[in-house]
Structure 1
Amino acid sequence: MTTLRTPPLWDVLERLHAAADNDSELELGPLPAGASSAERADHLAQVYMPVSAEGGGLLYSLVRAARPQIVVEFGTSYGISTLYLAAGVRDNEAGRVVTTELSETKVAAARWNLAEAGVGDLVEVLPGDALETLATIDGPIGLVLLDGWKNLYLPVLHLLEPRLTPGALVIADDSSFDSVQPYLAYVRDPANGYVSTAFPVEDGMEISCRA
């Protein structure tokens, strides 16, 4: 048995995945042209934008295998992906998760969900601009999940690179999106120090090892 598949964490995950199934039914008004990142986050505050259950299982397995001391997540939303990461940390009996979220609504919801699942003690949720909050994290960072604004994947990676351990894993969700292409070009270029593999789960995940 693992933390991932037992109550209370699995119960919370099932509830959140069921709620996220309604994302496509939400009717969002138009976002004003030139909206800031904070305004975009507020506009999408009711949208879960979750990792799939299959992708979450992969994240759990990668945390168990890599045994990172620090897991960093860019973009927690309602905490679904964070729960998979925290379950891996719990079962490793070592490490912690640091995650980021711009929406105040989602920060509060994620903290509640993590506490209800029994892993709140393993996770620090940093509210605000990730390019500012993640600059405060000391290394060594052994695993990174990029799942926030796609155009910020590469800037966030550059910010964290000096604190990545040798062999650190960097996972980019939604790798099939056009906005992720500059990031993919970077991690797939051997000159930049990564061995990178596309993984066919839902909208795609790119798994890169800091070689």
Structure 2
Amino acid sequence: MTLTDTLGDPRVAAALDRMFAEAARDDAAFARLATELPGDFTSLTAQEQADAAAPIYMPVSATGGQLLYNLVRATRPATVVEFGTSYGISTLHLAAAVRDNGTGRVVTTELNRDKAAAARRTFAETGLDDLITVLEGDARETLADLSGPIGFVLLDGWKDLCLPVLRLLEPHLAPGALVVADDVVLEGLQPYLEYVRDPANGYRSVTFPVEDGMEISCRL
């Protein structure tokens, strides 16, 4: 039996090493952003926030990426949807799992044009671009016509938009679909967490203690 591990592919490993190294400078980039903005960051529109934060990776952690890979390998979803591509760190983990499953696709969304272009280049360089569709623009619009069934969702874009994006995708979620939200410690994610933690809304939810926390919710 031949074992496959696309995360170990030299092209994928090199791309992840490079991007994680660049992302390690995010704190300094955030500090510069705070001094350069004329006003309060939270008062900007989602597009303005995305454009202002274009140099910042805001990635999942390396451990979080490994968790995503394992979850997709285990559940073998036909369609994986990601809200918040950034430069593509989490997308590579998702697509590597899809590749190793031998079936499925990844649909990912990014609001900033420069990040979307950079991610597409990386996906081509790693040989995973045939599995990934990058939708550029507001996810509430670009995902509106997406058909199901969706078996796995990663929500890692702007936290105040996670709940609206989930509600948009809900009619297409397969029974047993997993929905993962990153950074449970961030205040903007609270409305989302209250929603998925309420059994009346059709989820069984658990917080997984990796970095800033991932909320893993099963669609019942």
TM over 0.5: yes
The answer (yes or no) to whether the contact 1:42–1:103 under 8 Å persists in 2 is yes
- Per-residue Cα deviation, 1:167-192 (whole angstroms, up to 9, x for no partner): 00000000111111111111111111
Structure 2 residue identity aligned to 1:19: E
Kindly, what percent of the aligned residue pairs are identical? Answer: 63
CA RMSD of aligned residues (A): 0.9
Counterparts of 2:148 and 2:184 in 1: how far apart (Å)?
26
**In 1, Cα distance between equivalents of 2:65 and 2:197:** 23
1:61-93 per-position Cα deviation (integer Å, ceiling 9, x unaligned): 000001000000000000000000000000000
Give 1:192's aligned residue: 201
> Which blocks of at least 5 consecutive residues in structure 2 are unaligned?
none
Task: Give yes or no for contact 1:141–1:165 (8 Å, CA) kept in 2.
Answer: yes
Distance 1:206 1:107 in 2: 25
Give CA-to-partner distance per residue, 1:81-129, whole Å, 9 cap, x none: 0000000000000000000000001000110111111101100000000
The CA distance in 1 between the partners of 2:201 and 2:46, in whole Å, is 28
| Aligned-partner Cα distance in 2 for 1:32–1:111 | 32
CA distance in 2 between partners of 1:47 and 1:95 (Å)? 29
Q: Find the counterpart in structure 2 of residue 89 from structure 1.
A: 98
Instruction: List per-residue Cα deviations over 1:127-170 (Å, max 9, x = no partner).
Output: 00000001121101000000001001110000000000000000
Instruction: Give secondary structure in 2 for the equivalent of 1:144.
Output: strand
Between the aligned partners of 1:156 and 1:48, the Cα distance in structure 2 is 21
* Aligned pair partner of 1:52 in 38, 57, 61: 61
* Secondary structure of the structure 1 residue equivalent to 2:54: coil
Partners of 1:15 and 1:32 in 2: CA distance: 32
Residue 24 of structure 1: aligned partner = 27
What's the secondary structure of 1:94's corresponding residue? coil
Matching of residues 92-103 of structure 1 within 5 Å: 92-103=101-112
Which of 118, 121, 136 does residue 130 from structure 2 map onto?
121
Rounded to whole Å, the distance in 1 between the matches of 2:187 and 2:44 is: 20
Instruction: Name the TM-score, length of structure 1 as normaliser.
Output: 0.98
Shift of 1:38: 1.2
Shift of the 31–140 alpha-carbon distance from structure 1 to 2, 3 Å rule, reads farther
Equivalent position amino acid for 1:20 in 2: A
Q: 1:32, CA displacement in angstroms?
A: 3.5
Question: Paired residue for 1:167, among 166, 172, 176?
Answer: 176
What's the CA shift for 1:35? 2.0
CA contact (8 A) 1:71 1:96 kept: yes
| TM-score normalised over the length of structure 2 | 0.94
Once the two structures are overlaid, the 10-residue window that deviates more, 29-38 or 157-166, is 29-38
> Which residue identity lines up with residue 105 of structure 2 in the other structure?
R
d(CA) in 2 for partners of 1:128 and 1:36?
Answer: 13
Which residue is equivalent to 1:11?
A: 14
Q: Distance in 2 between matches of 1:31 and 1:90?
A: 44
Partner SS, residue 135 of structure 1: coil
The residue that corresponds to 1:149 in the other structure is 158
Alignment check: 8 A CA contact 1:77 1:110 kept? yes
Where do 4+ consecutive residues of structure 1 move more than 6 Å? none
1:111 aligns to 2:120 (yes or no): yes
CA distance in 2, matches of 1:15, 1:127: 23
